[in-house]
Each structure stands twice: as structure tokens, then as C-alpha cells.
Structure 1
């Protein structure tokens, strides 16, 4: 339950409070580590460890913060991918970090849905990002994975805040999820993510990608997060998916609409044609 004091908190107080909690991990990350090690009979290589982290926004953030703390200040590059973070820390440190990490409650439906959205967004970023030679898909995927971290922290440590926003949305009191957040707690959860990113001194590149404006890479990161939300809430019938594909075509002009739609996680072949046809209409209403 929220205290009377917490009910009046703005984004700055929440960011200060949440950025001080010990970050948990998804229980499945530990299970995966132990299963893979049992199967291989030895400790995992850095690439395998990075793949485990890349599928868990909490763990990825914990790893990133730890790696940035280890990095000799201002020497070397910023750590902007899970693999770079594992290399920075070393595999033994990562191993200890994960096995000693508290676990979040993945049975909480709001948390599970928000985390699934992050994961789908990062998968999509990896797929779409490969179609532009000037982009590191791993960096876009990392930003997409972390872009919901403000809301994930709320689900973990103050679930009443996002619950109130969902009630406002589902009751029709607020028309869109962002509006519901502002109506019920006075700020967007994305602003909370960005405030925490500043407190944690995350690399400026990742913060810019999470902000989601300014340039091609940031726009692609934001689009992946939006598209993941549409896939999760309404599936292939989401009226927003054709415009997502049309926007992706603007950002990745070298890719076909068909290829862009085929990369959508969880959408099967039969559902792709109508999405592509509607996207083509949006790009060129005269193409019939």
C-alpha cells in the first residue's frame, strides 16, 4: 500500500526512491543459467551470458550499472550492449551477480505484461535493426529493453501506482495509457525511466535512444516499443500495426513492407498480408 506521503510524490521523489532499491532479476534468468551450465558441464562463455541478460530488463540494467561502476571513469567506451557489459565485468563476476540477485515476482500480471512488452520490443529492434548498415541492432535492442524500466520498478516496489493507471485506462476514464499515467500520478512512466537513467549515469547514447526522438536510431527504438505495445494489447488485429509498419518503412527505406511485417514477433503468415496491404495504403493511397 502507498503511504499518504507517497500518494503526493511526483516523478523526482519516485525516481530518488526507486533508483535506490536493489534491482531484482526475473526468476527464469537464474533457471536458464543453471540449466545451460548443467547441459554444457562448464561455465558459460560471455556471449551466452549476454544472451541471458538481453532477455531480462532488470538483469540487463543491473549488469549495465555494475559495468559502468567498474569502468575506469572516462577511459574506454561507454557500455551500451549486454555483451560489452559482460566483458567489462568478467564472466565470474556476472555469474555471482546473477546467482546472488533477489528475484522479482513474475506472477504479478501487470509486471509480467510490462516485461513481455520490453522483451518483444528488444527482439523487434534486433530484427529491424539488421536492415540498416549504420545502426548497431544490439544498442537499439538494449534501449528498447530498458525503456519500460520506470514502470517495471513501480510494479516491483509500488504496484498501486501502475494499477491505478490501468484502472483509469480500462474504465474509460483516460483514453490512452500515457494519459492514464498522467491523470492518476501526475507524470509519464517514461519520464520516470529517464530520471532514473540520469541518477544512474547510464551512457548518454542509451538515454537518448530511450527518449526516442532526435534521430533515426532513437526513432527506431521508440517505434519498437510502441509496436510491442500494440502486438501485446491487440495482436495482429491492432489497427495501429499498419501505421507502425509504414513508419518502419520510412526509417528503413531499404526494407520491403513484407519483410518488415514478417519480423513482428507472434504474428503468423496469414496475418501479414492484411497488415502489409493497409500499410501500403497509408504510404500511397493511390497505389491500387
Structure 2
């Protein structure tokens, strides 16, 4: 990273990042390679859902497949492609394999990057569980949006790791210890603002961009709140913060009990018990 890049604003980072060759996870490469080298009948038994599950396990691949499918759709003037499942139906196994094999693997990844990757996967899983509870929306679309919410930060981890490591430290300090003393950020935009700007620069489907934005509709709010829950769990999970998120989720998932909404959260037993006790102690409506 060059010294002058510390002074860049969001538009400069978008221009720098939008055409970078995005990696895929090493685990994804291993899975696709094993399938390619395995028996033909094993590949033939793969359903579109099986392949979509591979994509949902890798936020980078999800982005690459979505962009590939959207590019093809734009040329054919078809409908927007808004989920990995729909994208897989367009690209198929061979093209999925080629995308993965043709992508670089991460090099010298800092611990914070791995945490962000896991947070993306967790957000997607939570979003799907909550969206499934609200049967009138597409859980695939919500899970896709939650999976991509952190893509701006993830790309910075790969292409500006020193800056990102420092900035994440500042923001985590401010979230935990804001009452003591706030530390000054050296970046004038949020990571999610960068994600939104990149999504627009890449020409992602309008629905996906709206869901990543995280407001205005139940689906978008579920995606946003799932990402918030995943971040809270990965930093320092506390009952009051998690309870506040669950109460907000209950407003967009009518009829869902708070304990039911807490079920997808991967919490230590002691913390889960404390959260459920706090829910039980709430006054009845």
C-alpha cells in the first residue's frame, strides 16, 4: 500500500478496487477440485442447490458468480439475477469450476480478514433462518445480501491490509469503549458505504443493492440486522445488545417469538441462557 492511499476518499477506493481480481477461499478451491477429479456420477448427482451451497460458503465466490450471471443477463436482456441459486442455473458446474480455478487464492491473510469472512457466513446463515420464519419473502435473496454486506471491508483486507487492520482496531475500540475516549478514524467512510458504492460500480442487480442497503423493506432490514448480530457476536456478545437486535427483528418478522429468533445465534451456553432469561423477564405485551 502506498502512503498517499491513506488520504483517499471513497470514490478513489472504488476506482481502485472495482477491477481488482477477487480471490476465492482455499476451501472452495479444494471442494471444486475434488469434485472435478472425482467420479463423473458424483458431479452428475449435484443439484443446483448443492452448488449454491458451495457458493454460499464463500462471499468472494458469491460475488463473482453473481457478477458473471448479471453480465450474461444484461447481454440477453433477461431478469435480474439476485441469488446464487439463480446464478448457478445460468453458469452451471463447468463454468463455476472455471471461475474458481481461474481465481487467485488469498495470500498472507491477517486474522481480522478471516474474522470478517466468518462474520459474513454467519450473517448469511442468521438472515436465512430469520427470513424462513417470515414465509412471504425469499430467504435466498436475504441470505445473499447478508453474505455480501462485508465485501467492501473484505476487499480492503486484501488490497490495503495495513490500513484496514488499523481502522478495524479503531472502530472496535470505539464500539467497546466509547464512554472512555473515542479514537480518531483515518477513513471518512464506513465499510458498508464502500460495499454499497462498489455494488453500484459493478452494476449488481438493483434488488441486491437495496437489500445490502438494509432499510425500507422487511427483507432489507432482516439482512442488516443479521449482519449486525453477526458482528456483535464476533466482537463482544452482550445480552442487552443482542436483545435489542432481536426486538428489532421481531418488528419485521410478525408472530416470531424472541426465543425463536435467538435460536440461530451461535452463542456459548452460558450467554444463551442469560439471553433467554432476559427474554423471559420482559413484560408481556
TM-score normalised by L of structure 2: 0.89
- What is the rounded CA distance, in whole Å, between the counterparts of 1:119 and 1:223 in structure 2? 14
CA shift at 1:273, angstroms?
Answer: 3.7
- What is the rounded CA distance, in whole Å, between the counterparts of 1:45 and 1:154 in structure 2? 34
CA shift at 1:181, angstroms?
Answer: 10
**What residue is the counterpart of 2:267 in the other structure?**
267
CA shift at 1:38, angstroms?
Answer: 5.7
The residue correspondences of 1:49-128 to structure 2 (distance < 5 A) are 49-73=51-75, 75-105=77-107, 107-128=109-130
The residue correspondences of 1:188-267 to structure 2 (distance < 5 A) are 188-235=190-237, 237-264=238-265, 266-267=266-267
Contact 1:26-1:56 within 8 A present in 2 as well: yes
Contact 1:162-1:181 within 8 A present in 2 as well: no
CA shift at 1:89, angstroms?
Answer: 1.5
CA shift at 1:222, angstroms?
Answer: 0.4
**What residue is the counterpart of 1:3 in the other structure?**
2
Contact 2:51-2:88 within 8 A present in 1 as well: yes
- Secondary structure (helix, strand or coil) at the match of 2:236 reads helix
**Cα 1:196–1:207 shift into 2, 3 Å:** same
**What residue is the counterpart of 2:12 in the other structure?**
13
| 153-162 or 266-275, which deviates more | 266-275
> Which whole-Å deviations, capped at 9, do the CAs of 1:152-182 have from their partners, x for residues lacking one?
0000111122112133246669956xxx898
- What is the rounded CA distance, in whole Å, between the counterparts of 1:13 and 1:61 in structure 2? 21
> Which whole-Å deviations, capped at 9, do the CAs of 1:110-143 have from their partners, x for residues lacking one?
1101111100000001111111111111100000
- What is the rounded CA distance, in whole Å, between the counterparts of 1:269 and 1:276 in structure 2? 10
Contact 2:142-2:223 within 8 A present in 1 as well: yes
**What residue is the counterpart of 1:277 in the other structure?**
277
> Which whole-Å deviations, capped at 9, do the CAs of 1:83-105 have from their partners, x for residues lacking one?
11111112211111112211113
- Secondary structure (helix, strand or coil) at the match of 1:183 reads coil
| 241-250 or 199-208, which deviates more | 241-250
What is the aligned length? 279
- What is the rounded CA distance, in whole Å, between the counterparts of 2:135 and 2:114 in structure 1? 33
**Cα 1:182–1:213 shift into 2, 3 Å:** farther
TM-score normalised by L of structure 1: 0.88
- Secondary structure (helix, strand or coil) at the match of 1:185 reads coil
**Cα 1:62–1:106 shift into 2, 3 Å:** farther
Q: Which runs of 5+ in 1 are unaligned?
A: none
- The answer to whether 1:25 aligns with 2:27 is no
Q: Which runs of 5+ in 2 are unaligned?
A: none
Contact 2:239-2:271 within 8 A present in 1 as well: no
- What is the rounded CA distance, in whole Å, between the counterparts of 2:22 and 2:149 in structure 1? 16
Across the aligned residues of Structure 1 and Structure 2, the Cα RMSD in angstroms comes to 2.5
> Which whole-Å deviations, capped at 9, do the CAs of 1:199-247 have from their partners, x for residues lacking one?
1000111111111111111111100000001111124x45411111211
- Secondary structure (helix, strand or coil) at the match of 1:20 reads coil
- Secondary structure (helix, strand or coil) at the match of 2:80 reads coil
